[in-house]
Structure 1
Amino acid sequence: MVQFEEERARWLEAKNRRKRYLDLHPDYFEDASLELADPLLYDRLIRRFQTAAEREAEGRSKGFSGQMATDLWRAEAKKDALDHPDPASLFTYSRGPEGEIREADKDEVPMTKEEGKAWWRDEMTQRFLRGGDGDFDYKTVDGNDKYDDPEKERDRQEAYFDSMESDFDTDGEGKEKVLTGETGIQDY
């Protein structure tokens, strides 16, 4: 039981450090390769709300080979989603009568571009916290106390100083000082 609690404490510490890392590095969400983490989800939450000009600009930034790779990943992901449906997924896919791929929405879907971005960011945050980014070296964050919560450090320091006995009113040996002489009143 003790080992389980220690393991859980380590897991929570790592998860908190990962969250702190994301707070300090918001550029993590700007990485173009993040789209490949879940191409179908990206397609439904981000690309769905992009204008043709925004898609074109995104394609140019990736270059021809990058755009081809992204399209290939998306097609493979759709094929995989058809072959192995995931009931926990936000969106499901099925084949239509003509063999086309149909997207079936669940009850809740984002209705605006901002909502879609918020959902995407939340999904990628949860994925990162779980340790699901295979391209990221989590050891650099999990074992680094630089990503500890500053409040936690402050609490630790306060507990340390609270545990120390004050010797401002003692002679250093635990006996109360007897103040003599000065009254604090200035004589002029």
Structure 2
Amino acid sequence: MGDLKISSPNNEEKICEIDPIYDIIDYLVRCANISFKNPHYNKAEIRTSEKIQVAYKMYTQSPTQFLIQFGKYLSPNHIEYFQNVEINNTNKDYKACIEQLKLYHSNECKNKRIRNRRYRAMQKLQDTDYFSEKQMMYRNPLLYEQLVGQYMTDEEKLERDGADNENLTFLSMILETVDRNEMRETKNRQMLIEGETSTQTLQDTESTPSQGKRWGDFDVPDTKPNYIPETEKRCMINANERNLLREEFLQEMCSSFIEGRDIDFDYDSVDNNEEYDDLQQMSRDAEDKYFDSEDNDAETLEEHMQHVQEYGRKKSNDSNSDTLDVFMQHISNKLQQS
């Protein structure tokens, strides 16, 4: 794929050292979600070998431009390689790219980016039935029963379960049966887990020696079963309390989604998807960071507000751009001017 560096420290053996840039480019081409288009062939995707050549040529011609183009798609452990190349000590623009990429790939920024993307995805899912009462009941039936179901009347349950009867088909009946069977299995598993937790807590309590026990006393065997499912009982509460419990259930289901606990959801399609970035919020975060930094040298309130207005005008045209992309474009413009 390229030239090899040959070294023979003892003149007895030759050790071939492959520059890690080849592995990094291979990762970008094969693993990262990057589109390489060929403008000469109706913008069709080019072959893998050509992609590698394009990326390597860009790196050899301008490492800074390479980072501008591909930096956000790198793996975090790749950044160390680019930090140790010689240009990092001589080129300010290159060094600025490295610092920005270190921040972008940090665990703190990554976790925040993922949570924000999941929040945006959750907002879009509001237009589907994913957060409908029935679907949430299927995903967490035990919690639903504890917070919502046990307080519903028979008429309300019939209305909930018969909501789709207008468009009822044989296939939908089969799917409904499958969903309900899975829901019962899920609920049984949740009850067993909850029962085991309660049993363990009880055993831990009973293992504590009794203060009043004397020598010669016999232990009284516990004849109670480890776990007895609670019989269904309907508690009457007022409408306001029911609404509060229903809201608590909804909040828990939203938290479950944001925290990645919905086991059947494809989180990779959201966590690695830039379409879910809240670009306006990212722009506001960048502004907050700027005004909290040393670059904001305002000494009076009037000067600070002037900075705010000027910065706001400057960023107004970039409100639909990723802050990292805006920064990289700024570096690219400087390179073209020099």
Q: Report the TM-score, using the length of structure 2 for normalisation.
A: 0.36
C-alpha spacing 1:67/1:57, structure 2 compared with 1 (3 Å): farther
Partner residue in 2 for 1:24: 124
**Is residue 131–residue 138 contact of structure 1 (8 Å, CA) maintained in 2?**
yes
C-alpha spacing 1:116/1:102, structure 2 compared with 1 (3 Å): same
How is 1:39-50 mapped onto 2 (pairs within 5 angstroms)?
39-50=141-152
Which whole-Å CA distance do the structure 2 matches of 1:20 and 1:74 have between them? 29
How is 1:104-115 mapped onto 2 (pairs within 5 angstroms)?
112-115=241-244
Which whole-Å CA distance do the structure 2 matches of 1:86 and 1:121 have between them? 29
Partner residue in 2 for 1:161: 314
Partner residue in 1 for 2:14: none
Partner residue in 1 for 2:156: 54
> What do residues 86-111 of structure 1 show as CA deviations (whole Å, max 9, x unaligned)?
99xxxxxxxxx6874349xxxxxx96
How is 1:168-187 mapped onto 2 (pairs within 5 angstroms)?
none
SS in 2 for 1:112: helix
Count of residues paired in the alignment:
147
**Which 10-residue stretch deviates more, 15-24 or 152-161?**
152-161
> What do residues 35-85 of structure 1 show as CA deviations (whole Å, max 9, x unaligned)?
243321111112123221222344445744543443343233212211134
C-alpha spacing 1:65/1:139, structure 2 compared with 1 (3 Å): closer
Q: Report the TM-score, using the length of structure 1 for normalisation.
A: 0.60
The offset of 1:131, in angstroms, is 0.9
Partner residue in 2 for 1:84: 197
**Is residue 138–residue 180 contact of structure 2 (8 Å, CA) maintained in 1?**
no
Root-mean-square deviation (Å): 3.7
Unmatched tracts of structure 2, length 5 or more: 1-101, 165-172, 201-223, 232-237, 288-310, 316-338
Q: Give the structure with higher Rg (CA).
A: 2
The offset of 1:23, in angstroms, is 2.0
Partner residue in 2 for 1:70: 183
Unmatched tracts of structure 1, length 5 or more: 88-96, 104-109, 163-188
Q: Which amino acid aligns with 1:143?
A: N
